A and B are shown apart, each in its own frame.
Chain A
Amino acid sequence: MSETRMCTSEYSLSYGDFKALNSITIDIPTNRITAIIGPSGCGKSTFLRSFNRMNELIPCVSTEGSVMLDGEDIFEKDVVELRKKVGMVFQRPNPFPKSIFDNVAYGPRIHGIRERTRLAAIVESSLKAAALWGEVRDNLGKSGLALSGGQQQRLCIARALAVEPEVILMDEPASALDPVATLKIEELMEQLKKDYTIVIVTHNMQQAARVSDLTAFMLTDENRAGNLIEFGPTRDIFTTPGDKRTEDYISGRFG
């Protein structure tokens, strides 16, 4: 087993009076793809956003327990620094209405890189890492919005990679894409895990089974709070799950 990159310990989150996450403890290993699965509304996105404090942007959110990155409490870190290390890719590709180049150079610029040649090098390596370079190298001035959905999503991944994160959070990154674009993203994830730690939320169980090394299954309890039911190697979860609720959910006997 590889070392832990991030972990949560008895982590709970409430939206006002509503407890959405109930005491979740999990270790996210380095250079692995961890998938979070569960029925919609069980708190997957909320939990994912906890890894880079995106929930703070939502009013009335309160939390308990801890979230750590490389053994340090993320709530004690500078939030800009944290989000540099823990990047995020969303369900709908959301490129900025700017050129492909500027989309990718956006993060590095915010972090103070101005030099054109250095930016160009970062843009190239990020686009290469996101498996998009070959398709856009001659059109870096073109608007990001002019790309296909799958290309836009890879552009967003390149944008996330440009600031050299350690962890990439992906919230249903392929759910708006066709099967071919989806496979490209999945292939890309496989390559990225050599250098990054990936946490992906997906409602597509086959996708979790295909791409992830570990799978976490979440489910709401009687108070509608999201709980972590089972967490383990994906192979085990999909062949011999330990919990009846996991088995029912992945076998499609849920609800």
Chain B
Amino acid sequence: MPRASYESDLQAVRAELLEVAAMTERAVSESVRILKERLMDEGSALIENDEVINARCHAIEEICINLTATQQPVAGDLRFLFSTMLIAMELERIADYAKGIARINATIAPGPHIKPLIDIPRMAVVATSMLRSAIEAFLKVDPDEAARIPARDVELDLLYSQVYRELLTHVMQNPSKIDDAMKLAFSAHNLERVGDRVVNICERIIYHCTGEVVDF
């Protein structure tokens, strides 16, 4: 087979992206579990794990750059490498949002939240399932599937404004809780941003599949 090592490098970078995507998805779910259940000891592992995700994302970017520089990829290979690199950058950001939520949890004094978290965990479910669908669409080279995912971002936006309004109402009744309420609002905002990043990933997937640069 011609260019055997190039082929295996392409396969390896694809496998690496999938693993990092799975790690990122877990980081998001885990950060919200930590926040919801007020797990004060588990945040530091997640924060450390973020370093690993960063490093692996950078490694993916480096491989993509090196293959581009040395192998002159064109057509499908070129689109694959560019979209992989850009998706890795989005994953890194998504993992940062998860880290942000774990950090926020650490700054809220131990004990139950000002109110039980219902919609924030829902947001995490929507955001992670969007991410999982996106990665599947990437794997299957399915632009139609990738084009359907951004619509689900609307759900995240709705949940976010709901969380925000509730926290606002709560603060008006209990002004002393403003600090904690704002922290929860930040957490919800982070999840809302995860959705935006997944939408960016979908744009890259469509480029990978069709060569078309779209903007959702």
Task: Please name all residues of chain A whose beta carbon is closer than 8 Å to the beta carbon of B73 when the two chains form the complex.
Answer: 251
With beta carbons under 8 angstroms apart, the residue of A206, A251, A255 that contacts B75 is A251
A254 to B3 Cα, complex, angstroms? 10
**Which residues of chain A in 44-93 are interfacial with respect to chain B, using CB atoms and an 8 Å cutoff?**
none
**How many A-B contacts are there with CB distance less than 8 Å?**
35
Task: Please name all residues of chain B whose beta carbon is closer than 8 Å to the beta carbon of A254 when the two chains form the complex.
Answer: 2
The smallest C-beta distance from B184 to any residue of chain A, in angstroms, reads 45
Q: Are B79 and A240 touching (Cβ within 8 A)?
A: yes
The smallest C-beta distance from B214 to any residue of chain A, in angstroms, reads 14
Nearest to A252 among chain B residues (CB) is B3
Q: Are B211 and A240 touching (Cβ within 8 A)?
A: yes
**Chain A window 226-255, contacts with chain B (Cβ cutoff 8 Å), 1 for yes, 0 for no:** 000000000010111100001100111111
Asked whether A251 and B210 contact (CB < 8 A) given A239-B79, A240-B79, the answer is: no
Q: At the interface, yes or no: B74 with Cβ under 8 Å from chain A? A: yes
Nearest to B79 among chain A residues (CB) is A239
Q: At the interface, yes or no: A177 with Cβ under 8 Å from chain B? A: no
Interface centre among B74, B76, B77, B78 (most CB of A within 10 A): B74
**Which residues of chain B in 61-115 are interfacial with respect to chain A, using CB atoms and an 8 Å cutoff?**
72-79
Q: Are A251 and B74 touching (Cβ within 8 A)?
A: yes
Nearest to B82 among chain A residues (CB) is A239
Q: At the interface, yes or no: A209 with Cβ under 8 Å from chain B? A: yes
Q: At the interface, yes or no: A205 with Cβ under 8 Å from chain B? A: yes
Task: Please name all residues of chain B whose beta carbon is closer than 8 Å to the beta carbon of A238 when the two chains form the complex.
Answer: 74-75, 78
Nearest to B210 among chain A residues (CB) is A240
Task: Please name all residues of chain B whose beta carbon is closer than 8 Å to the beta carbon of A255 when the two chains form the complex.
Answer: 2
Nearest to A253 among chain B residues (CB) is B2
A77 to B3 Cα, complex, angstroms? 48
A240 to B78 Cα, complex, angstroms? 9
Asked whether A252 and B6 contact (CB < 8 A) given A239-B211, A240-B211, the answer is: yes
Task: Please name all residues of chain B whose beta carbon is closer than 8 Å to the beta carbon of A253 when the two chains form the complex.
Answer: 2-3
**7 more A-B contacts (CB under 8 A) besides A239-B78, A251-B76, A253-B2?**
A206-B72, A238-B78, A239-B74, A247-B76, A250-B75, A251-B75, A255-B2
Can you list 20 A-B pairs with a CB-CB distance of less than 8 A?
A: A205-B72, A205-B74, A236-B211, A238-B74, A238-B75, A238-B78, A239-B75, A239-B78, A239-B79, A239-B211, A240-B75, A250-B74, A250-B75, A251-B73, A251-B76, A252-B2, A252-B3, A252-B6, A253-B3, A255-B2
Residues of B within 8 A of A (CB): 2-3, 6, 72-79, 210-211
Shortest beta-carbon contacts, A-B, top 8: A240-B211, A238-B74, A247-B75, A250-B74, A252-B3, A239-B211, A241-B75, A251-B77
